[in-house]
Structure 1
């Protein structure tokens, strides 16, 4: 991997030695039969030479991987690398699932993968221009502004992604880690896509979680370590995400320990009611985070209900906005001092005037 940034910018994720090992690890090898078969089948994947991937900056770090912004295919991309070579099997499984799901409008598009032999060490996907729902919902500097209509649209799109996975044949796919950091926003926040299939599994195979990595979003049966899991665990997580979007608060506040959250859930504790939430959506959320999985609706029913509700909810397609406080010159207009301008995301002015060149009055002046 070529690095276009200083090592310090990704120091929290990969140290210099690890970067060196990545370079050694991804030296070109002859293609394996596994890789040749993948290229022969209809696929969304391109096998990428690691020398063609340029790393620019660190984005985030998960339990088994590091995500960085990079350049490949003459475009900005997200590059997901193993944070530890012990997680090779997890990465191989994610590559397989992403190859199986093909293209869906609400699932992140995979552009390629870097291999050494049969081992994938990096997955290259489209880059979310806004970031994750988590980033937007909990943004403070500067704060992002979005409408309840935006939230309803995001909730619907997340449910559509899960409905697609849960109805795949011959065996549905359970995502297993639905949370706001794994819901990415594109096109100024109007398009949501589900990412990170590292915890996904086939319903026919079942799955046992021994070390919950995201307890705030996980269903009671998952926290209990049950091997009897199906689509309903994703449904529970979806409800927590929707509540988080409306409230702009972290699920269960400062409580992050999986055992404590599990006991709270068994006692019937759920996130508090949020003022202003659509009554029908709140009713749906309450069904979705029921303690017993059998009491939760399917994602097919959720999508049906949300499609009906969203017709009467305004502002579902407006772009995100961000607060800008400094003096701004936008085209021929100047915004000065105490006048706080609310600007559509990615429509920042290219020039910021200084205090002494601004007009005296706190209003828009033709320059």
Structure 2
């Protein structure tokens, strides 16, 4: 029998904006090419629906509403899967049939067989953290496809509830449509033998509970609610005129980046070059306004050489925007990818010291960044590195721990991925990943999708591979930053001391 495998698993961007596709020699196929191949195959198979008037337009619309990574994952052998995906997405629009779930038994074998030259699988089911293929494939394997409303944090909760049902995720493919729906495909090993229909029923019940927990109508935990109320109270009692700006005085020059809920522009404000983060009006709701308010409050609170300077904000919907100093050097992420070779050790240390100084200042002010990565580190005209993007930053509560998942999978601490209580030491773990980025110039776990990387970090203790040319003291620093036990990770004051000591030694 054949072991179940999927195509171009490593090319998918998953739940975040970064992908290893630009590292691959294989170019993603155009949606139109895939659409044509699928249409031809369905008609060749004699699928009656494929000849129905209007079907061609519907199929093309299906591909257009999904990202390019979806087309890359499809092949003529999966033509009938496309019909199933189309049907589930249609069902997801109706609350009565949402979530829409399809569960089917996948083929499995006790041996690791070649899936063919056209198939490239980097799933965690094939290798463990040490690169060893697991021997046991005796548990029943299922393919689960789920479509529902696309909600923030839902994907990570979905993986957690699967674990709670005794499902070990081997592969994960996550797609979001342009009109706000999700299409998630998982290949899982089940801890016990059960019928696909029974598994489907159990999943539907758990997902409905999960969706209710993410509903805007549901009350948040007392600590979070008190924190939000306190934040709004503080903003009402500050001199708003001091930092609120007139959006009509902003001049937009060019778009620098786009995100899920807004866009970043280069522009000017009162003849000063600035970066303008604009939230799209169609996404503005109560939850987003609270996040926006929190980001403004945090930016107002902080001022440091290694943190992007806050200039002002427009707080009047529908024109919500945050204005900060413009950083002409761009992001460290982009800077690393322009280099033909790895950075000189002195440059790595200078950048790392800048970041550790900024993070030490944040932690001194009880602020956890929660999304520290090279893409959120910007450089000024003198290549001074400054921490940016406080969209998910949070003021640490008095108990010292939090439980809400946030951040970006490749950089996220295991306790955050696993929905366990966490504190400021989650930022230290992320800093370790950033330091590794500076040393290698590579994307963390680039051979895996983001979700596969997250599963590896939690379940297998996966960490980026430290190269042989890494300075021994930096290798030691990486390992202590990546400790599973957060209490074993250093404070940023210690990290600054270590980095400065290494810098001094290498100059002698």
Tell me, yes or no, whether TM beats 0.5. Answer: yes
The answer for unaligned runs of 5 or more in structure 1 is: 1-14, 16-31, 316-367
Give the deviation of 1:107 after TM superposition.
0.7
Alpha-carbon spacing, 1:283–1:167, altered in 2? closer, same or farther (3 Å): same
| Aligned counterparts of 1:59 and 1:280: Cα–Cα separation in 2 | 37
C-alpha RMSD over aligned residues: 2.7
- The residue that corresponds to 1:218 in the other structure is 412
For the 8 Å contact 1:92–1:120, the answer to whether it is kept is no
Correspondence 1:252 to 2:452: no
- The residue that corresponds to 2:370 in the other structure is 176
TM-score with structure 2 setting the length: 0.50
- The residue that corresponds to 2:328 in the other structure is 129
Give the deviation of 1:244 after TM superposition.
0.7
Give the deviation of 1:263 after TM superposition.
2.9
Deviations along 1:269-296, one digit per CA (max 9) or x if unpaired, are 2111124322101111110011111111
The answer for unaligned runs of 5 or more in structure 2 is: 1-177, 179-231
Alpha-carbon spacing, 1:283–1:144, altered in 2? closer, same or farther (3 Å): closer
Give the deviation of 1:209 after TM superposition.
3.1
Correspondence 1:110 to 2:317: no
Correspondence 1:192 to 2:420: no
Give the deviation of 1:66 after TM superposition.
2.0
For the 8 Å contact 2:445–2:453, the answer to whether it is kept is no
| Aligned counterparts of 1:287 and 1:34: Cα–Cα separation in 2 | 38
| Aligned counterparts of 1:35 and 1:120: Cα–Cα separation in 2 | 18
Alpha-carbon spacing, 1:252–1:133, altered in 2? closer, same or farther (3 Å): same
- The residue that corresponds to 1:160 in the other structure is 357
| Aligned counterparts of 1:72 and 1:276: Cα–Cα separation in 2 | 46
Alpha-carbon spacing, 1:94–1:33, altered in 2? closer, same or farther (3 Å): closer
| Aligned counterparts of 1:265 and 1:251: Cα–Cα separation in 2 | 15
Correspondence 1:79 to 2:280: no
Give the deviation of 1:268 after TM superposition.
2.2
Correspondence 1:96 to 2:291: no
Deviations along 1:38-87, one digit per CA (max 9) or x if unpaired, are 3379xxx6321111101111112234432111111212110011132132
For the 8 Å contact 1:47–1:114, the answer to whether it is kept is yes
Deviations along 1:287-336, one digit per CA (max 9) or x if unpaired, are 00111111111111111111222223359xxxxxxxxxxxxxxxxxxxxx
Corresponding residue to 2:504 among 297, 302, 311: 311
| Aligned counterparts of 2:235 and 2:329: Cα–Cα separation in 1 | 33
- The residue that corresponds to 2:473 in the other structure is 280
Q: Map residues 355-366 of structure 1 onto 2, 5 A cutoff.
A: none
| Aligned counterparts of 2:457 and 2:236: Cα–Cα separation in 1 | 50
| Aligned counterparts of 2:494 and 2:476: Cα–Cα separation in 1 | 13
Secondary structure of 2:348's aligned partner: helix
Alpha-carbon spacing, 1:80–1:313, altered in 2? closer, same or farther (3 Å): farther
Give the deviation of 1:203 after TM superposition.
1.7
Correspondence 1:55 to 2:255: no
Larger Rg: 2
Secondary structure of 2:475's aligned partner: helix
Secondary structure of 1:300's aligned partner: helix
Corresponding residue to 1:233 among 410, 421, 426: 426
Corresponding residue to 1:209 among 401, 404, 407: 404
| Aligned counterparts of 1:67 and 1:40: Cα–Cα separation in 2 | 23
- The residue that corresponds to 1:361 in the other structure is none
- The residue that corresponds to 2:243 in the other structure is 46
For the 8 Å contact 2:310–2:324, the answer to whether it is kept is yes
For the 8 Å contact 1:94–1:200, the answer to whether it is kept is yes
| Aligned counterparts of 1:264 and 1:126: Cα–Cα separation in 2 | 35
Alpha-carbon spacing, 1:64–1:247, altered in 2? closer, same or farther (3 Å): same
Moved over 6 A (4+): 32-36
Higher helix share: 2
For the 8 Å contact 1:82–1:88, the answer to whether it is kept is no
